[in-house]
């Protein structure tokens, strides 16, 4: 899929890649080819790919839309950021053509739970328990973040997601240590070019105050953000509240926080059920359940609590790798599916685990299959079928994730009329060819290294395997410096 006209660009990209490697930031390759377009006049700037119209030509489309299904050797036409047409041999005047003849084209992934700011402290918590994480990350590390660190963390965390084919993240921001921290974190998402639900959480400067049965209500700054930074509900960035909820704050605080979010007409995401059960029951007792609530982890909730989530229309975000590591319990994907809750999958924290939704999806699916198989296995019998299916798993990372974030009308499937958030996966690589069943190729075989091209809102942000973001490239050294200072000053 290398275009002959791109040779000069490819040379620049290779140097950029080496630079990234030298800085210790593996798996992020930058191209400076878009630098001529980088100056946005606001001092930040970032390269914009071709806007207006893009033709993705001859791909195997896995639309995750029942009406369109899977289509081979099919074109997809994008104009003004919207998917306009899907069909054979489209005759349209496109400003940019992506050759997808050896590719599987899927909706951009939706990473339903990410603390994006932690990208600079990648890997430090790989052996930590959940209690250690609460003590060190939310007690020591998060307190050392300054506004510019929040910017760098979010910029790179978001760029890493784009690199991995995720076009949307729910960014659960719990270092709102000052209004400037939040503003700079939002700037970081904006400069990355990702679609995000910026989920404003509490400060990270005092874990006892904010996370230990907290009697302090959500920071009022969220009102300012709602009017100043998120005046429109249909922009690329929208707002949610990251509430502590019943597991981490008093009932009174939980009630006031959720009421505030509803006054602002924004959804609420909260961590729940990873320490014990009863949180959802409390929400029910308080009369607070609703389809605007997103429950993260949910491992230890009771069957009754899952029923309450399902009947109230709530969503559950499973982050299997972190949950398995830190002792939260087995991933609750099956409970969420059985209860009819909206299921979704997220990375959570790259301080512990892998960046990419491919890994999380695979892990969520196979752990759930293992749990379902276990009764027969334990009885010495053979299983009769394998569930959930690979296609159901792909839905978790696309349309269901979009639903969990309240964005299903705009993204989550390759459907004409939706925004053009698209991931093109090389299907002729050693680990992906030959493709017999495209869904299985994506769910079980593909990885970051196969993500060739990524569009967000019709904008090409990754091409020929390289992320186009001069702003991130210019700041690469600063991310490492920022992270080293934070770790030094936090005593880690």
Distance between the two ends of the chain, CA-based, in angstroms?
Answer: 44
Shortest Cβ 296–Zn ion spacing (Å) = 6
Which CB atom, from 46 or from 122, has the smaller least distance to Zn ion? 122
Name the token pair of 57: 């030509």
Residues 6+ apart with CB under 8 A from 261: 240, 241, 243, 267, 268, 292
> Least distance (Å) from Zn ion to the CB of residue 274?
9
CB atoms within 10 A of CB 69: 10
Token pair belonging to 430: 């050693």
Task: Please state the φ and ψ torsions of residue 16, each to the nearest 5 degrees.
Answer: -60, -40
Closer CB to Zn ion, 295 or 358, in the complex: 295
Which residue is at the shortest CB distance from Zn ion?
A: 348
Instruction: Name the minimum Å distance from CB 172 to Zn ion.
Output: 5
Q: Which of residues 148-167 bind Zn ion (CB under 5 A)?
A: none
**How far apart are CB 346 and Zn ion at their closest, in Å?**
8
Counting every residue written for the chain, the total comes to 492
In this complex, which beta carbon is closest to Zn ion, that of residue 348 or of residue 426?
348
| Strand intervals (E) in 284-339 | 293-297, 315-318
Nearer to Zn ion, 201 or 438 (CB): 201
Task: For the CB of residue 258, give the shortest distance to Zn ion in the complex, in Å.
Answer: 18
Residue placing its CB nearer to Zn ion in the complex, 205 or 348? 348
Q: How far is CA 341 from CA 279, 297, 335, in A?
A: 16, 13, 9
Closer Cβ to Zn ion, 109 or 117, answer by number: 117
Q: Where are the alpha helices (DSSP H) in 379-428?
A: 390-397, 399-404
State whether residue 460 is helix, strand or coil. Answer: strand
Report the nearest approach of Zn ion to the CB of residue 284 (Å): 23
* Residue closer to Zn ion (CB basis): 167 or 199: 199
Site for Zn ion in 347-376 (CB under 5 A): 348
Cβ 170 to Zn ion shortest distance, Å: 10
DSSP 44-91: S-------SEEEEEEEEEE---TTT-EEEEEEEEEETTEEEEEETT--
Q: What is the closest distance, in whole angstroms, from the C-beta atom of residue 348 to Zn ion in the complex? A: 5
Number of residues that bind Zn ion (CB under 5 A): 1
Asked if residue 470 lies in contact with residue 432, where contact means CB atoms within 8 angstroms, the answer is no
Give the list of residues 6+ apart from residue 270 with CB closer than 8 angstroms, or none: 242, 243, 244, 245, 247, 293, 294, 295, 296
Nearer to Zn ion, 149 or 348 (CB): 348
Per-residue interface string for the shown chain with Zn ion, residues 313-352, x marking contact by CB under 5 A: -----------------------------------x----
The three-class DSSP label of residue 419 is: strand
For binding to Zn ion (CB under 5 A), which residues are involved? 348
């Amino acid at each position: 899929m290398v275009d002959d006209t791109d040779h000069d660009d490819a040379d620049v990209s290779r140097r950029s890649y080496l630079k990234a490697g030298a800085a210790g930031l593996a798996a992020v390759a930058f191209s400076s080819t878009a630098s001529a377009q980088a100056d946005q006049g606001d001092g930040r700037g970032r390269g914009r790919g071709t806007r207006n119209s893009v033709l993705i030509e001859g791909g195997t489309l896995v639309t995750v839309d029942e009406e369109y299904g899977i289509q081979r050797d099919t074109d997809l036409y994008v104009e003004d950021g919207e998917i306009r047409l899907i069909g054979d041999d489209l005759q349209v005047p496109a400003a940019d053509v992506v050759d997808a003849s050896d590719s599987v084209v899927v909706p951009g992934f939706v990473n339903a739970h990410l603390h994006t700011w932690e990208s600079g402290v990648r890997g430090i918590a790989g052996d930590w328990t959940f209690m250690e994480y609460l003590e060190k990350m939310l007690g020591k590390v998060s307190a050392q973040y300054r506004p510019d660190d929040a910017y760098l963390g979010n910029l790179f965390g978001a760029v890493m997601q784009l690199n991995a084919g995720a076009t949307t993240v729910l960014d659960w921001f719990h270092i709102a240590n000052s209004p400037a921290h939040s503003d700079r974190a939002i700037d970081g998402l904006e400069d990355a070019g990702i679609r995000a639900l910026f989920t404003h959480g509490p400060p990270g400067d005092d874990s006892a105050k904010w996370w230990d049965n907290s009697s302090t209500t959500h920071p009022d700054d969220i009102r300012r953000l709602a009017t100043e930074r998120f005046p429109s509900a249909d922009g690329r960035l929208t707002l949610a509240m990251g509430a502590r909820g019943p597991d981490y704050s008093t009932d009174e605080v939980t009630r006031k926080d959720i009421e505030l979010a509803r006054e602002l007409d924004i959804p609420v995401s909260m961590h729940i059920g990873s320490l014990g059960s009863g949180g959802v029951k409390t929400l029910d007792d308080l009369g607070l359940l609703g389809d605007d609530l997103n429950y993260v982890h949910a491992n230890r909730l009771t069957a009754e609590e899952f029923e309450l989530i399902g009947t109230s229309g709530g969503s559950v975000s499973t982050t299997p790798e972190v949950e398995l590591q830190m002792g939260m319990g087995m991933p609750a994907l099956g409970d969420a599916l059985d209860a009819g809750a909206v299921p979704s999958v997220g990375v959570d924290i790259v301080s512990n685990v892998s960046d990419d939704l491919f890994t999380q999806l695979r892990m969520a699916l196979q752990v759930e299959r293992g749990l379902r198989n276990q009764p027969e296995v334990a009885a010495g019998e053979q299983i009769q079928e394998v569930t959930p299916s690979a296609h159901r798993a792909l839905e978790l990372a696309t349309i269901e994730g979009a639903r969990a974030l309240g964005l299903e009308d705009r993204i989550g499937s390759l459907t004409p009329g939706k925004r053009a958030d698209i991931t093109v996966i090389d299907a002729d690589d050693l680990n992906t060819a030959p493709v017999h069943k495209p869904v299985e190729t994506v769910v079980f075989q593909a990885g970051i290294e196969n993500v060739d091209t990524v569009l967000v809102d019709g904008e090409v942000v990754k091409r020929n395997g390289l992320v186009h973001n001069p702003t991130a490239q210019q700041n690469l050294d600063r991310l490492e410096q920022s992270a080293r200072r934070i770790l030094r000053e936090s005593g880690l």
